[in-house]
Structure 1
Amino acid sequence: MDTRLQRPGRRALRMALGVALCAAISFALDLSIPVIAPVFAVFLLATHSRPLSLKASAMLALVVALTTGSGLLLVPLLRHYAWAGVMIIGLMLFVAFRYGLRGGNNLVATFLVAGLTMISAAGTADFQLAVTVVGALVKGLVLAVLVSAWVHWLLPESASARPRPAARVMPDHQAARIALRAALVVLPAYLLAMTDPASYMPIIMKSVSLGRQSCTTTARGAARELIGSTLFGGLLAIGFWFALRLFVHLWMFFLWMLLCGLLVGRKLHGLSPTRYSPGFWLNSLVTMIILLGQSVQDSAAGKDVYAAFAVRMGLFLAVTAYACLTLLIFEQRRRDG
């Protein structure tokens, strides 16, 4: 179990088990936004080979407090001075992405972006909805951290394993340019969600994933990385849905999620060589979780699952195409400059 060849397998199993547990527990507890915990578990377990330290946990708790507080405080500003409020949100997105690119904790940056956009967008429609989103974010993050700690205890990293190398700290001018690009990727989905937060909350989560992925994707491979991973995630969600219909049960939901997590984890951790980057597989898994989770909720609410999935997939592809266009425009301007 401690050999170099077996170490990636343990990491893939750890990620798959953690994501499947978070998804099953979220739906079993009937959380208001059940996809939050498994999505954060993906980011947490795919990027960290060891459980969060006490210092990192304290930092995360502080970020939760600041994010939820800031999101709720911006609600009155967005209602009465919408333009100024949107500009402040854009500035805060830029700061959050730049923090991650300058060597900060990427999980913290991701939670900042997700929290600010989801809470403030929900609050423009109904303050009670914003409070519900706050509760969903906090519960989802706590669940993801607890499950992550448990799977690390169950499948610990070998003592001889070196910690993952720290992310490369970008020069200030480059970090600012990429952070601005990522913020512009997220903003249109955020503006769309403000028109109907209850319906478009998944679009915000997808745009946050795209903004994170755009920080490591080049303009040359943007279409293959962003659009390709979105389409593959949609195919995984379709396959998962029809497999689940063979026997609808929470345990089967857990087992199918575990299988999908293992399939993607093999690619993500290099057990099965592929020409696609880890970001491709990470975004594919996140897309599948969001689409599948919303379909399960649509089914429970008695909605037309297939029509809702088609509309949601179309919006995902539109947001992804816009992200690709943003990358290409920034690359062209950089060359011209």
Structure 2
Amino acid sequence: MLEMIAAPPPQEEVSPALPLAARRCYRLAFCTSLALTLCYGFDIGIPFVAPVLAVLVAAVPAPPPGARAAFGLVLFMAVALGVGMLIGPLLQQAPFTALLVIALGLFFSNRLALAPGKALPATLLALGVTAIPAADIAGSAVASALLEALVLGMAVAIFCLWLVYPLFPEDSHAARPAPPLPGIAPDEENWLSLRATLIVLPAFAFTLTNPTTNLPFLVKSILLGREASELKLRDAGVELVGSTLLGGLCAVLVWWCLGFAVELWFFGAWILLVSLIIAAGCYQVFRNRFTPGFWSNTLMNMLILLGAAVQDSVVGNDVYQAFTVRMALFLLVAVYALVAIHLLERLSRRFLRRKASLRDRLSLLRNKRG
């Protein structure tokens, strides 16, 4: 029920003029822009949440979830966030116990993300066990508002994908579920999950110092942890730091362009254009050496930074100062994730060497006794 790949719609045999990669680009860009426009137009919760979730939903090269699957996904999200509401009071009364529960929840969500087709539910679970308890520190009303914004944002993202998909569908052969990938060894799954958990926990602790201001930073760290669990060491620098820098640059460009006309339709149009360019890199419309994860994280970074900047302008904060601080924090957590991956991998290799050495010694002792 929680799988993102649903049964194909009745009319699947289409031969559109656009190539498949171009259709995927337009689908991702229009879904993201439409979600942003609807949320800002109707003032739904925290408006930048829906377009970020739209990227997660629309980036999957498959048909949208059916009604049952969509209801199951939203219900799962509500339950995961509800668990966070229960952890919130515990975090204030028994902090150590709550941190252990949060660490276990993050570890489980990272394990879940490694299973085929479970990346989105895993991300929602990670948000539930971290963002909601952090918001509860600022007040139960803030946590309730965030929960409502996330659930409504997911509903809006799926609704936008339903509207956009018939215009830019998959091919009939491409819409079928891909064969499962070779499984990862259980020991490696545990290690990757632990590595991602250790990346998110310090960012969560930092968010507790000022939850209302630092929540975008926590969302960024969760996305980084999810990305880090799938990265190889040699690609980590470009993927983590590069996507953060490019997302910040795109946010600056869009913000500067908005100065020509502060209108919702203009905002939506710029997001559509930039999303289309980023999606073209994601689906290799123009050849590049970056992975789809690099491009999708660039787009999500841009949306988070822009959404926070819009909120700053509404409440009268200095947008440029707040953006500089936020961007510095984003880069800091990206560099921390990179350093943590290198250190943890070094420790892992040293542990494996010692384990192999001990195994050889035990084998020699058995042979001598034999």
**Band the TM-score falls in, shorter-chain normalisation:** over 0.9
Supply the AA of the counterpart residue of 2:257: A
* Counterpart Cα distance in 2 of 1:5 and 1:32: 36
* Counterpart Cα distance in 1 of 2:25 and 2:276: 6
1:139 partnered with 2:148? no
Partner residue, 1:40: 53
1:215 partnered with 2:229? yes
C-alpha spacing 1:166/1:140, structure 2 compared with 1 (3 Å): farther
The gaps in structure 2 that reach 5 residues or longer are: 1-13, 353-370
* Counterpart Cα distance in 2 of 1:301 and 1:96: 34
1:120 partnered with 2:120? no
In the alignment, which of 47, 60, 64 is matched to residue 73 of structure 2? 60
Partner residue, 2:102: 89
Supply the AA of the counterpart residue of 1:241: W
- Report deviation, 1:58: 3.9
Of stretches 63-72 and 244-253 in structure 1, the one that deviates more from structure 2 is: 63-72
Supply the AA of the counterpart residue of 2:116: G
- Report deviation, 1:314: 0.5
Alignment RMSD: 1.7
3-state SS of paired residue (2:120): helix
The gaps in structure 1 that reach 5 residues or longer are: none
Partner residue, 1:260: 274
Supply the AA of the counterpart residue of 1:230: T
Question: Is the Cα–Cα contact under 8 Å of residues 193 and 203 in structure 1 kept in the other structure?
Answer: yes
Question: Is the Cα–Cα contact under 8 Å of residues 41 and 144 in structure 1 kept in the other structure?
Answer: yes
1:199 partnered with 2:220? no
Question: Is the Cα–Cα contact under 8 Å of residues 18 and 45 in structure 1 kept in the other structure?
Answer: yes
C-alpha spacing 1:213/1:334, structure 2 compared with 1 (3 Å): same
- Report deviation, 1:28: 1.2
Question: Is the Cα–Cα contact under 8 Å of residues 197 and 225 in structure 2 kept in the other structure?
Answer: yes
Equivalenced residues, count: 337
Question: Is the Cα–Cα contact under 8 Å of residues 16 and 259 in structure 1 kept in the other structure?
Answer: yes
1:111 partnered with 2:153? no
* Counterpart Cα distance in 2 of 1:69 and 1:42: 23
Larger Rg: 2
3-state SS of paired residue (1:47): coil
* Counterpart Cα distance in 2 of 1:250 and 1:137: 21
Partner residue, 1:302: 316
1:199-241 deviation per Cα after TM superposition (whole angstroms, max 9, x unaligned): 0010011011111111221122211111011000000000111
In the alignment, which of 37, 43, 50 is matched to residue 24 of structure 1? 37
In the alignment, which of 79, 87, 92 is matched to residue 92 of structure 2? 79
Supply the AA of the counterpart residue of 1:24: T
3-state SS of paired residue (1:230): helix
Question: Is the Cα–Cα contact under 8 Å of residues 218 and 327 in structure 1 kept in the other structure?
Answer: no
- Report deviation, 1:313: 0.3
TM (normalized to structure 2)? 0.87
* Counterpart Cα distance in 2 of 1:139 and 1:166: 32
- Report deviation, 1:166: 5.3
3-state SS of paired residue (1:220): helix
C-alpha spacing 1:58/1:251, structure 2 compared with 1 (3 Å): closer
Question: Is the Cα–Cα contact under 8 Å of residues 102 and 130 in structure 2 kept in the other structure?
Answer: yes
Supply the AA of the counterpart residue of 2:322: A
C-alpha spacing 1:78/1:167, structure 2 compared with 1 (3 Å): farther
* Counterpart Cα distance in 2 of 1:305 and 1:155: 37
3-state SS of paired residue (2:326): helix
Partner residue, 1:246: 260
* Counterpart Cα distance in 2 of 1:9 and 1:76: 48
Partner residue, 1:185: 199
3-state SS of paired residue (2:284): coil
In the alignment, which of 270, 286, 291 is matched to residue 277 of structure 1? 291
Question: Is the Cα–Cα contact under 8 Å of residues 24 and 250 in structure 1 kept in the other structure?
Answer: yes
Supply the AA of the counterpart residue of 1:195: T
Taking only the aligned residue pairs, the percentage that are identical comes to 37
* Counterpart Cα distance in 1 of 2:171 and 2:324: 44
1:99-157 deviation per Cα after TM superposition (whole angstroms, max 9, x unaligned): 12133521111111112211111112211111111111111111111111111123222
